[in-house]
């Protein structure tokens, strides 16, 4: 399960986008769900839209599908304008497939009839249904009714149903949120393969960063109705465009730094900067220091070293252990230690050393105001299964 | 258990039974004894009229049996079946589109229409019948308008056609209300999925929405058909020989209670057949009858476009026939009466009595319905099904039969209760119980037992957990069920006449007293109050329905 | 209400379950096979009109409140009795009294027609009335057994359209309407109690076969079926039918309301024809009456000249007490050549209904 970031961006860019969205806006009263959003999905590409709950992800999908009408902006599917500037193609003529959060299988139809639903006019309907049943490996369950299926089976039927009429793009709304953890992991692989096999472009929204990083050829991070960054997963992780992206995708310590061109000076020493933002900027900044960027060394018992950090808490994740540590000046950080390091206890003193890594930093004046409170990980960041992150070389043992 | 439950998504509240396919158990597995006992007692109460009818039927002599078995009886049976089928079909054809138009579309004035099309529930079938004869009879108002064109007489509106028309107009709100409730509760995602798969809206309605609505339509249709079976007012005015009229004729013309009892038992047999049919439909559909949807995303509003005009015409026609003509007739009686110098008596007593007895019966029904619905929803079994069906037996019997059964039972066993308000209220509560069963059962299936289980882990006893946690969530369903009982109670006549305390006038008895002597003007005031009181109740009912659970 | 409801429910439950368990015995307790009393044998419930009644009296009235109410008010004022009246349909009330059995709270049954009284009498539920009461009314209009007395009378007539017919065009017997020349011209109301009483009289006087033959004969003329007498009159006025079989006073009401231009008149069939039957509304005292003396007082009150004039004036019915005149526009009761029949025999409505049904009319 720990592969994943292997795929390269497919032979994109040669044809029209599968989906193109520009300046899209949709408000419900005073609440702006989608706020001038731009997005581009290439043919055959799988794009994950990652964002916290309530950021407008589902509305985005519904706007693309035509289940809602935008207030402004436009949507193109397969190069054809379907919404905006006077055109409003109804959902049934958009050639869009959708997998709903709770699957929305037709409760009165069997598995076979659910899949065949969109194939009314297709003379080869039976062949196509058979093909899809094989694809989702549910040939034996064809006659069953939806309520007789497990959650995972319902999921696959919903996907097959959406794929049956060979849509230009498949939209998946939190497709795994209703499934338990083990099933989720397995189905991610299944869904990815099924979509690959059908060579259909897909957009799926999720609030789960693992899901987004695992499944997407690209990950679009969405917050407050806009896309903050849209890049391949390793770029989103390695070169986050904003502090929000840094802290929302993976765990990031935002550490005060002084910029000197392509180098940032932090309390741990200097670190090289990468990415388009690595200009010859100067001044105060926040540098992204991931837990795996720091080496942890235990400080032997004795008089406390002035630079030593004290262990506040520990989080065991399987592949490694995360420690929350606090400096004498009150700054808190998350650091990572492999199993090679002796298990630390709360209260132990450690010293931290920056590895030879590259990272990004955000000039403070660009952020509007200096973040208040202790700088560190986003409070919501929960390293649910760091094992699925792509560990930077050198940390794995 | 939990793992299995989580796989059976869409059916919380139902313990798995034999992998979902086997026959339900005969007894209720795990049903608490007190609940079972309470339900058996309620079923026993509901079955008392049947016991009475059997006692009476045994008294029939052989010649009477010959009379019952002659071809004419079968003709009456056939007429009744035809009426039931036509009314069932008609109420669905009228009620389902109205429910859809008033919940899912941009019909101009949608909220107003929602109230207007539900109000006819408040109008007794005999008033609609009167109004129709006055308006469309061979020499009715319509003929008067057409007279200058040389139309001297219109074809009779009596018989099967007239009876069907009037009963459809009187009973379609049952289908409308249950379908509306279902439309407001179903998850629109399935419909959205269907559209994305290439269906236009109307096709989606036919292929997805309608099949999902089947249990609700069947439940409303059941009430409508049973209403038609029990109705005497319309069939007698419109000269149509149904079982209910045949039963009345036995009492009226021959004082033959034995024969009437035999006919009534035949009517019960027909009722059982109808409830069985509905049960089958519901069971088949019930396998997928989902719970109240989790996400309360409002369904997208369907723009009607140029279909707006036919839709408005449809709503207007229904409102004209079911509401405007009957209330117009009442108003005309009033005006004509006043212009001829009739003195209007404002029926303050009658209104107060109607309200009291209606409210008490509604509360009584709601109290009785909770255990029955609980048993059916939580502990499905053959016994539970039988108990539920048992509560329906009295519902399709004409009021006179129930009234006489109660007279007999009360005078012979509880003379102290005879001709008391309490007895009248109990009789109403039991008779109209079926109107509350459907909504409460559906709501209970939707709520599921999880909350109570949570309460139990937090130290509540089973009763307290139910009262504290589940009951408040059932409130809209209880209000809706109670409102239906209230509406039917205030317009009920024979039981009010025979079982009420002496001198106990209700609006219905006042209307009857005046109208039976031809004093229509005097009947108009209580009739107007009845319609107004009931219209208020309908508004309450609609609000209860739209309130999110 | 709320607090007493469960208790009441509990009591009812216990009781009704008990009743269901022993329903058979309860029904056999009804006095159904008691032999009929005759007027020669003195009534079992002695009533003494001279004793001044007190307490309360319960009347089951099959006649409407608008009609009976004012009388009851006057009676209440005159006697100081607590008078309670239950108003409902006559047949519903008679069925109720039968179901109530010995527990019936009713003292007096005031019925719209003699048939319902006969049905109660046949079940032995009516007590004998004193001769002083019975004798105020012609013996044609009271129970020969002395258990009920007529209060007001109504005659069967043939109503006809004066625009197309004169009285001379009409048959002099109701039997004449089976002639095919009347095809499609007749209106009747076979579910109506008065009509059924007439058919019963037919059976009593001419036998079931003749009655059935007449019914079939009319049926063959494709008569229009109406719900009641008013509907028939209105249909004649509207030209739907030309003649109708009705009671006499409906026309009087129409004339009062619409004036003499109303194009319908009554024909009283001559020569003691069955078609000229005079039926009555009457009253009787129940054997189970809790307050028979008060019941007696009420019946006597109905037979006072004052009450009789009230009926004549309000309803255009015939007053039955000798010496009280009817509406001057009516053929006097004494001149109606009504068939000679014991109205008690009209109790066999069951047989009539069967006959009507056998004839294919209902």
For B218-271, how does the pLDDT look when each residue is reduced to its tens digit (9 = 90+)?
Answer: 889 999 999 988 887 777 777 677 888 888 877 776 667 888 888 888 889 888
One DSSP character per residue, B24-89 reads PPSS-TT--HHHHHHHHHHHHHHHHHHHHHHHHHHT--HHHHHHHTSHHHHHHHHHHHHHHHHHHH
How many whole angstroms separate alpha carbon A128 and alpha carbon A115?
9
Higher pLDDT, B16 or B497: B497
Which residues of chain B are within 8 Å of residue C98 when distances are taken between CB atoms?
255, 257
Whole-number Å distance between alpha carbons of A119 and A113: 10
- Most distant CA pair in chain B: distance in Å? 81
Contact between chains at A180 and B9 (C-beta distance less than 8 A): no
- Dist. CA A394–CA A268, nearest whole Å: 19
Residue to mutate among B72, B412, B420, with most C CBs inside 10 A, is B412
Chain B: give the shortest CA distance to residue A2, in Å. Answer: 28
Between the alpha carbon of residue B243 and those of residues B73, B222, C226, the distances in Å are 9, 17, 19
Helices B71-104, B210-230: inter-axial angle, 10-degree rounding: 140
Distances (CA, A) of A4 to A1, A213, A219, A234, A394: 7, 8, 13, 10, 18
Give the pLDDT confidence score for residue C105 in this predicted structure. 93
> Do the chains contact at B363 and C2, CB–CB below 8 Å?
yes
CATH superfamily of A239-381: Nucleic acid-binding proteins (2.40.50.140)
Instruction: For A115, name the nearest residue in chain B, comparing CA atoms only.
Output: B197
- Asked if C191 and B253 come within 8 Å (Cβ–Cβ), the reply is yes
pLDDT at residue number B64 = 66
| Contacts of A178 by beta carbon, 8 Å cutoff, 6+ apart | A101, A102, A103, A151, A155, B9
Contact B119, B538 (CB under 8 A): yes
Cβ of residue B16 closer than 8 Å to a chain A Cβ: no
Q: Is the dihedral of CA C333, C334, C338, C339 positive or negative?
A: positive
CB contact under 8 A, B513 and C8: no
A148, B20 contact by CB (below 8 A): yes
Q: Is the model's pLDDT at C223 over the cut of 80? A: yes
The answer, for A154 touching chain B at a CB cutoff of 8 Å, is yes
Chain B interface includes A162 (CB < 8 A): yes
Domain boundaries, chain A: 19-235, 239-381
Contact call for residues B151 and B144 (beta carbons, < 8 A): no
With beta carbons less than 8 A apart as the criterion, state whether B449 and B401 touch: no
Under CATH, to which class is A19-235 assigned? Answer: alpha beta
Chains touching chain C at 3 or more Cβ pairs under 8 angstroms?
B
C42-153+279-339 CATH fold: D-Maltodextrin-Binding Protein; domain 2 (3.40.190)
**CB B200: neighbour CB atoms within 10 A?**
13
Q: How far apart are CA B484 and CA B373, in angstroms?
A: 16
User: Is B297 exposed, middle or buried (CB count within 10 Å of its CB: 0-12, 13-18, 19+)?
Assistant: middle
- Using DSSP bridges, classify how beta strands A309-316 and A321-326 pair: parallel, antiparallel or unpaired: antiparallel
Is there a contact between B59 and C96 if contact means CB atoms under 8 Å apart?
A: no
CB of A316 closer than 8 Å to CB of A278? no
Of A75, A63, A97, A77, which Cα lies nearest the Cα of A21? A75
- What is the three-class DSSP state of A324? strand
Q: Do B194 and A117 touch (CB under 8 A)?
A: yes
Q: How many CA atoms lie within 13 A of B30 on its CB side?
A: 10
Question: In angstroms, what separates the C-alpha of C171 from chain B's closest C-alpha?
Answer: 28
Q: Is the pLDDT of residue C17 over 70?
A: no
Q: For chains B and A, tell me whether 3 or more CB atom pairs sit within 8 A of each other.
A: yes
A64 CB-near residues (< 8 Å, 6+ apart): A19, A21, A75, A77, A96, A169, A171, A203
The answer to whether B412 contacts C19, with C-beta atoms less than 8 Å apart, is yes
Taking the C-alpha atoms of residue A253 and residue A360, their distance in angstroms, rounded to an integer, is 12
pLDDT in tens, chain A (397 residues): 444 443 444 444 445 788 999 999 999 888 888 999 999 999 889 999 998 888 888 899 989 988 888 999 999 998 889 988 778 888 888 889 889 888 888 888 889 999 998 888 888 889 999 988 988 888 999 999 888 888 888 888 998 999 898 898 999 988 887 777 777 787 788 888 888 888 889 999 998 888 888 888 999 999 988 999 999 999 999 889 888 999 888 888 898 888 888 888 888 888 888 876 656 567 888 889 998 888 888 877 655 566 788 888 888 777 778 889 988 888 889 988 766 566 788 888 888 888 888 888 888 766 654 444 334 443 333 343 333 333 333 332 2
pLDDT given at position B115: 86
Whether residues C350 and B417 touch (CB distance < 8 A) is answered with no
Using N-to-C axis directions, what is the helix angle for B257-286 and B71-104, rounded to 10°? 40
How many angstroms separate the CA atoms of B501 and C86, rounded? 8
The answer to whether residue C272 scores a pLDDT higher than 50 is: yes
Burial class of residue A302, CB neighbours in 10 A (0-12, 13-18, 19+): exposed
Contacts 24+ apart (CB under 8 A), A115-123: A115/A157, A115/A160, A115/A161, A115/A164, A116/A164, A117/A161, A117/A164, A117/B194, A117/B197, A117/B207, A118/A161, A118/A164, A118/A165, A118/B196, A118/B197, A118/B198, A119/A164, A119/A165, A120/B198, A122/A165
Q: Who's near C249: CB < 8 A, 6+ residues apart? A: C154, C315, C316, C317
In order of C114, C142, C147, C311, C320, the CA distances from C281 in angstroms are: 6, 10, 14, 11, 10
**How many other CB atoms sit within 10 Å of the CB of residue A95?**
18
Q: Which residue of B has its CA nearest to A65?
A: B196
Give the global pTM.
0.75
Those residues whose C-beta lies under 8 Å from the C-beta of residue C60, and which sit 6 or more positions away, are C85, C86, C88, C93, C96, C97, C106, C108, C109, C110
Q: How far is B519 from chain C (nearest CA, A)?
A: 9
In B, minimum Cα distance to A69 occurs at: B300
Chains C, A in contact: 3+ Cβ pairs under 8 A?
A: no
| C201 neighbors C277 (Cβ within 8 angstroms) | yes
Helix (H, G, I), strand (E, B) or coil at A89: coil
In the block, tokens 């000229």 appear at C276
Is B190 within 8 Å of A107 when comparing Cβ atoms?
yes
Domain boundaries, chain C: 42-153+279-339, 154-278+351-358
Q: Are B162 and B138 in contact (CB under 8 A)?
A: no
Please give the span between the terminal C-alpha atoms of chain A, in angstroms, as a whole number: 17
Q: Which residues contact B122 (CB under 8 A, 6 or more apart)?
A: B487, B491, B530, B531, B533, B534, B535, B537, B538
Q: From CA A286, how far away is CA A278, in angstroms rounded?
A: 13
3-state secondary structure B153-203: CCCCCCHHHHHHHHHHHHHHHHHHHHHHHHHHHCCCHHHHHHHHCCCCHHH
The pLDDT tens digits of the residues spanning B56-107 come to 888 777 666 676 677 778 888 898 999 999 999 999 999 999 999 998 888 9
Q: What is the pLDDT of residue C38?
A: 37
Instruction: Give SS3 for C157.
Output: strand
pLDDT tens profile B169-202: 999 999 998 888 888 877 788 888 898 888 887 8
Lay out the sheet containing A332-337: strands in order across: A294-298, A349-354, A309-316, A321-326, A332-337
* β-strands A226-231, A218-223 pairing: antiparallel
Residue contact B252–C89, C-beta within 8 A: yes
ipTM of the complex: 0.82
CA C96 and chain centroid, separation: 16
Q: A89 in contact with B at a CB cutoff of 8 Å?
A: no
More confident residue, C166 or B133: C166
Distance, in Å, from the CA atom of B506 to the CA atom of B527, rounded to the nearest integer, reads: 11
Q: Do chains C and B meet with 3 or more Cβ pairs nearer than 8 Å?
A: yes
Q: What is the CATH number of domain C154-278+351-358?
A: 3.40.190.10
Q: Residue B198: closest CA among chain A residues belongs to which residue?
A: A92
Q: Look up the CATH architecture of domain B31-296+305-546.
A: Orthogonal Bundle (1.10)
Residue A313 CB neighbours (<10 A): 12
Residues of C in contact with B513 (CB under 8 A): 64-66, 87
Distance from CA of B481 to the nearest CA of A (A): 27
Question: In sequence order, what E strands does B180-318 have?
Answer: none
Within 8 A by CB and 6+ apart from A28, the residues are none
Locus of tokens 């840094």: A246
């Amino acid at each position: 399960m720990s592969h994943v970031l292997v795929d390269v961006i497919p032979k994109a860019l040669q044809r029209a986008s599968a989906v193109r969205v520009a300046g899209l806006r949709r408000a419900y009263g005073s609440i702006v769900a989608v706020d001038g959003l731009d997005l581009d999905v290439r043919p055959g590409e799988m794009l994950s839209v990652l964002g916290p709950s309530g950021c407008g992800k589902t509305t985005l999908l519904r706007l693309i599908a035509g289940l809602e009408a935008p207030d402004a902006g436009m949507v193109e599917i397969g190069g054809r304008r379907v919404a905006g500037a006077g055109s409003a193609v109804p959902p049934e003529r958009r050639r869009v497939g959708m997998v709903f959060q709770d699957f929305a299988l037709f409760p009165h139809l069997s598995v076979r009839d659910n899949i065949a639903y969109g194939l009314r006019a297709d003379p080869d309907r039976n062949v196509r249904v058979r093909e899809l049943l094989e694809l989702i490996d549910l040939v034996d369950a064809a006659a069953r009714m939806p309520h007789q299926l497990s959650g995972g089976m319902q999921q696959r039927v919903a996907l097959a149903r959406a794929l049956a009429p060979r849509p230009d793009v498949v939209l998946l709304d939190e497709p795994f949120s209703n499934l338990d953890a083990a099933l989720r992991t397995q189905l991610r692989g299944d869904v990815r393969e099924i979509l690959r096999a059908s060579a259909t472009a897909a957009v799926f929204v999720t609030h789960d960063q693992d899901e987004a990083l695992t499944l997407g050829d690209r990950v679009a991070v969405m917050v407050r109705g806009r896309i903050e960054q849209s890049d391949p997963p390793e770029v989103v992780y390695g070169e986050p465009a904003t502090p929000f992206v840094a802290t929302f995708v993976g765990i990031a310590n935002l550490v005060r730094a002084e910029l000197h061109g392509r180098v940032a000076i932090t309390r741990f020493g200097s670190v090289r900067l990468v990415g388009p933002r690595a200009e010859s900027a100067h001044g105060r900044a926040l540098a992204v220091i991931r837990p795996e960027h720091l080496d942890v060394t235990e400080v032997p018992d004795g008089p406390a070293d002035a630079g030593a950090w004290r262990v506040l808490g520990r989080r065991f994740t399987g592949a490694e252990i995360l420690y929350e540590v606090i400096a004498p000046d009150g700054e808190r950080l998350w650091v990572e230690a492999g199993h090679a390091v002796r298990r630390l206890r709360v209260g132990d003193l450690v010293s931290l050393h920056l590895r030879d890594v590259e990272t990004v930093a955000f000039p403070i004046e660009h952020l509007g105001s200096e973040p208040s409170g202790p700088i560190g990980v986003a409070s919501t960041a929960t390293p649910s299964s760091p094992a699925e992150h792509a560990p930077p070389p050198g940390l794995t043992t | 258990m939990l793992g299995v439950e989580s796989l059976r998504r869409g059916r919380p509240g139902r313990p798995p039974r034999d992998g979902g396919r086997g026959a339900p158990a005969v007894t209720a597995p795990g049903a608490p004894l007190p609940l079972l006992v309470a339900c058996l007692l309620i079923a026993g109460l509901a079955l008392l009229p049947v016991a009475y009818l059997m006692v009476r039927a045994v008294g029939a002599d052989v010649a009477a049996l010959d009379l019952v078995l002659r071809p004419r009886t079968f003709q009456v049976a056939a007429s009744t079946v035809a009426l039931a089928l036509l009314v069932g079909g008609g109420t669905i054809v009228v009620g389902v589109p109205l429910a859809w138009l008033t919940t899912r579309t941009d019909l101009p004035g949608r909220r107003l229409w929602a109230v207007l099309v539900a109000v006819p529930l408040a109008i007794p079938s005999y008033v609609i019948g009167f109004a129709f004869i006055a308006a469309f009879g061979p020499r009715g108002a319509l003929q008067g308008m057409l007279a200058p064109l040389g139309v001297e007489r219109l074809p009779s509106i009596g018989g099967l056609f007239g009876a069907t028309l009037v009963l459809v107009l009187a009973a379609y709100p049952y289908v409308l209300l249950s379908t509306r409730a279902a439309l407001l509760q179903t998850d629109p995602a399935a419909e959205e999925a269907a559209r994305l798969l290439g269906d236009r809206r109307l096709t989606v309605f036919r292929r997805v929405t309608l099949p999902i609505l089947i249990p609700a339509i069947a439940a409303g249709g059941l009430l409508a058909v049973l209403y038609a079976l029990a109705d005497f007012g319309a069939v007698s005015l419109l000269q149509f020989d149904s079982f209910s009229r045949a039963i009345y004729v036995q009492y009226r013309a021959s004082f033959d209670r034995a024969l009437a009892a035999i006919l009534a038992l035949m009517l019960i047999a027909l009722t059982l057949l109808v409830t069985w049919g509905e049960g089958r439909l519901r069971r088949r559909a019930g396998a997928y009858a989902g719970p109240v949807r989790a996400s309360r995303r409002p369904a997208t509003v369907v723009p009607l476009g140029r279909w707006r005009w036919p839709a408005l015409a449809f709503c207007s026609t229904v409102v004209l026939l079911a509401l405007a003509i009957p209330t117009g007739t009442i108003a005309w009686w009033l005006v004509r009466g006043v212009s001829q110098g009739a003195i209007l008596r404002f029926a303050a007593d009658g209104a107060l009595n109607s309200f009291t007895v209606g409210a008490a019966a509604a509360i009584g029904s709601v109290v009785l319905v909770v255990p029955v619905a609980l048993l059916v929803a939580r502990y499905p079994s053959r016994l539970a099904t039988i108990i539920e069906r048992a509560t329906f037996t009295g519902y399709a019997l004409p009021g006179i039969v129930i009234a006489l059964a109660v007279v007999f039972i009360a005078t012979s066993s509880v003379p102290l209760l005879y001709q008391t308000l309490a007895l009248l209220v109990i009789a109403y509560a039991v008779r109209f119980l079926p109107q509350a069963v459907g909504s409460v059962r559906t709501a209970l299936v939707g709520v599921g037992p999880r909350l109570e289980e949570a309460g139990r882990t937090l130290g509540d006893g089973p009763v307290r957990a139910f009262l504290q946690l589940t009951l408040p969530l059932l409130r809209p369903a209880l209000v809706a069920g109670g409102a239906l009982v209230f509406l039917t109670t205030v317009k009920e006549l024979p039981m009010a006449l025979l079982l009420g305390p002496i001198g106990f006038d209700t609006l219905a008895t006042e209307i009857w007293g005046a109208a039976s002597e031809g004093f229509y003007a005097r009947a108009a005031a209580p009739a107007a109050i009845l319609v107004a009181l009931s219209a208020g109740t309908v508004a309450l009912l609609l609000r209860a329905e739209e309130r999110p659970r | 209400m709320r607090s007493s409801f469960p208790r009441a429910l509990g009591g009812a439950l216990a009781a009704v379950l008990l009743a269901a368990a022993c329903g058979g015995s309860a029904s056999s307790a009804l006095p159904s096979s008691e032999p009929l009393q005759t007027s020669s044998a003195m009534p079992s419930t002695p009533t003494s009109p001279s004793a001044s009644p007190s307490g309360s009296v319960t009347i089951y009235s099959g006649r409407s409140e608008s009609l009976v109410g004012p009388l009851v008010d006057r009676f209440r004022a005159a006697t100081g009795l607590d008078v309670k009246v239950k108003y409902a349909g006559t047949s519903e009330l008679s069925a109720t009294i039968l179901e109530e059995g010995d527990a019936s709270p009713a003292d007096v049954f005031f019925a719209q027609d003699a048939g319902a009284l006969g049905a109660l009498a046949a079940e032995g539920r009516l007590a004998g009335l004193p001769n002083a009461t019975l004798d105020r009314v012609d013996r044609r209009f009271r129970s020969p057994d002395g258990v009920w007395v007529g209060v007001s009378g109504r005659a069967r007539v043939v109503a006809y359209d004066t625009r197309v017919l004169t009285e001379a065009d009409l048959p002099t017997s109701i039997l004449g309407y089976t002639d095919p020349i009347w095809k499609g011209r007749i209106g009747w109301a076979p579910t109506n109690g008065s009509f059924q009483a007439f058919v019963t009289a037919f059976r009593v006087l001419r036998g079931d076969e003749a009655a059935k033959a007449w019914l079939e004969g009319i049926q063959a003329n494709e008569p229009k079926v109406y719900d009641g007498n008013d509907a028939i009159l209105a249909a004649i006025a509207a030209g739907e039918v030309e003649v109708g079989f009705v009671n006499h006073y409906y026309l009087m009401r129409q004339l009062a309301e619409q004036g003499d231009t109303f194009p319908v008149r009554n024909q009283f069939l001559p020569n003691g024809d069955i078609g000229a039957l005079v039926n009555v509304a009457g009253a009787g005292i129940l054997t189970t009456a809790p307050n028979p003396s008060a019941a007696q007082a009420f019946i006597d009150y109905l037979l006072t000249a004052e009450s009789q004039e009230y009926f004549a004036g309000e309803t255009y019915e015939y007053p039955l007490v000798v010496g009280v005149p009817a509406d001057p526009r009516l053929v006097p009761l004494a001149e109606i050549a009504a068939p000679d029949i014991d109205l008690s025999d009209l109790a066999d409505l069951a047989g009539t209904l069967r006959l009507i049904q056998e004839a294919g009319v209902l």
